[in-house]
């Protein structure tokens, strides 16, 4: 002990192009920017595929071949998968080849990486089914474990996931939820029977995802032997170390010249130097380890920002207004039975659109700005609301509401 559980989130939204008020009623193509801007979805997917997906999958493939004990888990959003099909089929094939090894697990999530559960449980269940269908179609694989968008979680969501038949769910190992307890054990969500919960070890995960290249960090430079020693130090005080992070950490957020690929390439060898260490997928961790007790989370929390709450997406009036307006379209747009309109609406439900409207300052604000393709949160809000207004007009034309 402990077992290391690597879980990687793979996601790319359909970014909305700059959509002016004069475009309302004249342009129904919201995601087709072909300029050099960062709202060009083809350009961004190709860039991320070249910098992250292809080289990192190459390293993961080498590690799977070199170490029979090595295993990883992925959750790949539906909107990322369909963009790989369109713009980066080589990246999709590389993920398919990893899954074929039998030592790579895939998780279920909402197809559109949305916060639909907060506004419409019915739409939430539809998106879970859509994503499951996509995973089966592309990978011939049926997921057993669920991860919600950005690890947003509470007791009610856990009960919903239990009723949908999943064996487990992931969440952030937040201090205010754990109290004195450790994230390095398996738990059970409060109010469920049979469902198990894996919690992110945010300190060790963020050492790789956020601090790896920071020269202001006292532990810089982070080497594989040093990180492996931190994992081995948990022997006797934990059963599973859950390293959850964006896959884009490798090559996209932490560039190749930081040494991140050499670190990843060396890490399994160093972790396996300790004879009690091992690797597990998320479902293996749930099977191998018994629950050490219940986790009670009456309120939503997530893995985003310092607050670990919903404020990354719903923290200011712009975000709240945008969310209310787009989810209010659900019933009329479904009445149209127009697949193109419904798909455009679902693409607007992707949580990233709300994330780009965040107006936080300091470190959290810098992270939001780094990920946003817009010059400001207000530009993101203006384009989004103009598109919603256009979609609303087109819906009215179809159903006369």
Question: Three-class SS of residue 322?
Answer: helix
Q: What is the pLDDT along the chain (401 residues), one digit of tens a residue?
A: 689 999 999 999 999 999 999 999 999 999 999 999 999 999 999 999 999 999 999 999 999 999 999 999 999 999 999 999 999 999 999 999 999 999 999 999 999 999 999 999 999 999 999 999 999 999 999 999 999 999 999 999 999 999 999 999 999 999 999 999 999 999 999 999 999 999 999 999 999 999 999 999 999 999 999 999 999 999 888 999 999 999 999 999 999 999 999 999 999 999 999 888 999 999 999 999 999 999 999 999 999 988 889 999 999 999 999 999 999 999 999 999 999 999 999 999 999 999 999 998 767 667 767 889 999 999 999 999 999 999 999 999 988 76
pLDDT of amino acid 190:
96
Residue among 150, 239, 248, 392 flagged as catalytic = 150
- The C-alpha atoms of residue 278 and residue 337 are separated, in whole angstroms, by 50
First to last CA, the chain: 61
- The C-alpha atoms of residue 167 and residue 194 are separated, in whole angstroms, by 7
- The C-alpha atoms of residue 52 and residue 388 are separated, in whole angstroms, by 32
C-alpha distances (whole Å) from 266 to each of 62, 251, 273 are 11, 16, 11
pLDDT of amino acid 305:
84
**pTM for the complete prediction?**
0.96
Please name the helix (run of DSSP H) or strand (run of DSSP E) that holds residue 68, with its range, or none. none
Two structure tokens written together for 24 = 């309302």
Helical H segments across 1-88, by residue range:
41-48, 54-66, 78-87
CA-based torsion, 281, 287, 292, 294: positive or negative: positive
Strands lying side by side in the sheet with 291-295: 145-146, 168-172, 196-200, 186-189, 291-295
Please name the helix (run of DSSP H) or strand (run of DSSP E) that holds residue 177, with its range, or none. helix 175-178
Two structure tokens written together for 369 = 């700005």
pLDDT of amino acid 80:
98
Angle at 92 between CA 12 and CA 73, to 5 degrees: 75
CB atoms within 10 A of CB 246: 17
CA-based torsion, 294, 7, 305, 120: positive or negative: negative
Question: Three-class SS of residue 186?
Answer: strand
C-alpha distances (whole Å) from 67 to each of 71, 270, 287, 374 are 9, 11, 22, 43
In contact, 332 and 395? CB cutoff 8 Å: yes
- The C-alpha atoms of residue 5 and residue 168 are separated, in whole angstroms, by 14
Contacts 24+ apart (CB under 8 A), 156-159: 157/117, 157/300, 158/189, 158/190, 158/191, 158/192, 158/195, 158/197, 158/297, 159/189, 159/191, 159/192
pLDDT of amino acid 306:
85
pLDDT of amino acid 401:
60
Helical H segments across 281-355, by residue range:
282-288, 311-314, 317-327, 330-336, 339-348, 352-355
150 included as an active-site residue: yes
């Amino acid at each position: 002990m402990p077992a290391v559980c690597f879980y990687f989130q793979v996601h790319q939204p359909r970014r909305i192009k700059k959509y002016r008020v004069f475009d309302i009623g004249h342009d129904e193509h919201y995601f087709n920017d072909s300029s050099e801007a960062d709202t060009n979805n083809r350009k961004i997917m190709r860039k991320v595929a070249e910098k992250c997906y292809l080289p990192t999958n190459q390293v993961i493939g080498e590690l799977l071949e070199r170490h029979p004990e090595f295993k990883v888990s992925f959750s790949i959003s539906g909107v990322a998968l369909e963009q790989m099909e369109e713009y980066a089929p080589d990246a999709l094939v590389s993920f398919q080849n990893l899954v074929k090894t039998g030592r790579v697990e895939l998780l279920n999530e909402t197809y559109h990486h949305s916060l639909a559960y907060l506004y419409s449980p019915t739409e939430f269940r539809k998106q879970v089914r859509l994503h499951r269908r996509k995973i089966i179609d592309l990978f011939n694989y049926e997921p057993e474990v669920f991860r919600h968008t950005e690890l947003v979680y509470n007791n009610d969501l856990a009960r919903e996931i239990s009723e949908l038949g999943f064996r487990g769910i992931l969440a952030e190992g937040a201090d205010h939820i754990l109290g004195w307890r450790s994230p390095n054990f398996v738990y059970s969500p409060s109010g469920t029977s049979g469902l198990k919960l894996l919690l992110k070890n945010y300190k060790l995960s963020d050492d790789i995802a956020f601090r790896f290249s920071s020269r202001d960090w006292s532990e810089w430079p982070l080497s594989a032997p040093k990180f492996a020693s931190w994992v081995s130090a948990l022997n006797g005080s934990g059963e599973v170390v859950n390293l959850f992070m964006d896959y884009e950490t490798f090559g996209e957020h932490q560039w190749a010249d930081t040494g991140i690929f050499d670190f990843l390439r060396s890490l399994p060898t160093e972790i396996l130097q300790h004879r009690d260490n091992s690797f597990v997928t998320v479902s293996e961790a749930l099977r191998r380890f018994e629950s050490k007790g219940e986790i009670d989370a009456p309120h939503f929390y997530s893995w985003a920002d310092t607050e670990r709450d919903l404020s990354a997406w719903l923290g200011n009036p712009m975000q709240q207004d945008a969310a209310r307006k787009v989810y209010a379209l659900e019933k009329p747009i479904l009445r149209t039975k127009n697949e193109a309109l419904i798909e455009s609406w679902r693409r607007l439900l992707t949580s990233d659109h709300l994330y780009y409207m965040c107006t936080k300052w300091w470190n959290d604000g810098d992270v939001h700005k780094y990920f946003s393709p817009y010059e400001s949160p207000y530009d993101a809000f203006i384009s989004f609301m103009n598109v919603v207004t256009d979609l609303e007009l087109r819906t009215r034309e179809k159903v006369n509401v």
